[in-house]
A = this chain, B = another copy of it.
Amino acid sequence: MTGSISSNLYPFVARLAAHSHLSRDDQHALAALPNRTSQIAEKRDFVRLGEPVEHACFILEGFAARFSQNHAGLRQYTAFHISGDMADLHSVVLPNPTSGLQALTTTTILMVPHAALRELTRTRSTVAEAFWRECMIDAAITAQWVVNVGRRDARTRMAHLLCEMARRYGAPQTAHCTFVMPTTQENLADATGLTSVHVNRTLKVLRDEGVAAIRARTVEIFDWHRLQDIGEFDDAYLGPAPAAPRHMPNSLALA
């Protein structure tokens, strides 16, 4: 691909460009951001409460969860983050974490210095706006999680979560689809505010109904329409679906 740029930042530039208009110039400035990658072992927290950070963590590969916990030590996840998510972008404006970030599988993160990000936002208002917008989409998802946990029963909750993750993973929204999601039932419990035992029973119901099943870290949706129905799922809050999620868009290629 003659003239195209290559950078660790690429998936994140693509993500931003999917939601905000960015000039080629903006995109190159983003792709040129200093960064280093880091491997996080399964189950390790890589952002901790009370430990201010000076770089933002993006998820290059793997699966992470944002979490808080109650006094009894029970965790409640407030977000799942997958490849391409700028999980920690908001730390640019709030460097003091109010929730932690944990790798649920071995995860490769990209660490980008706040200083460089802030320099970009200072000089490029369009980039600043794109960052802000990206964070607000995350916030919209969090708000949906409140609804999910607050006003839906276990079956509906699970269905909604599966729908959300299917959409975010870019799984084809066809009647039948499949995607890899490396969560344990305990992780799903911490995301839905249920116990892992009840997650198990709930999954069994969905499986027995022939709607969806999880086997070997793979979600298989047998009947997308019905799952969507059960989960009361409307994907509007997720923003526009990525057109070609895993490939380099033309806008980044230098003609």
Interface of A is mostly: helix
Determine the distance from Cα of A118 to Cα of B129 in the docked complex, in whole angstroms. Answer: 9
Query: Taking the nearest CB of chain B, how far is it from the CB of A189, in angstroms?
Result: 10
Asked if A241 CB lies within 8 Å of chain B CBs, one says no
Please judge, given known A-B contacts A151-B76, A236-B98, A237-B98, whether A135 and B139 are in contact too, CB under 8 Å: yes
A136–B205 Cα distance when bound, in Å, is: 38
Q: Of the candidates B121, B128, B145, which one forms a contact with A146 in the assembled complex, judged by CB atoms under 8 Å apart?
A: B145
Q: Does A63 contact B (CB under 8 A)?
A: no
Determine if A253 is an interface residue (Cβ-Cβ < 8 Å): no
A122, CB-defined interface residue at 8 Å? yes
Given A128-B121, A129-B121, A129-B128, check contact A78 B136 (CB 8 Å).
no
- Is A76 touching B147 in the complex (CB atoms < 8 A)? yes
Q: Judge whether A143 is part of the interface by a CB distance below 8 angstroms.
A: yes
Please encode chain A, from 61 to 87, with 1 for each CB lying within 8 Å of some chain B CB and 0 for all others: 000001011110011101100000000
13 other A-B residue contacts (CB within 8 Å) besides A70-B151, A96-B236, A99-B140? A70-B147, A70-B156, A90-B139, A93-B132, A94-B136, A98-B237, A121-B129, A132-B132, A135-B135, A136-B139, A139-B142, A146-B146, A150-B192
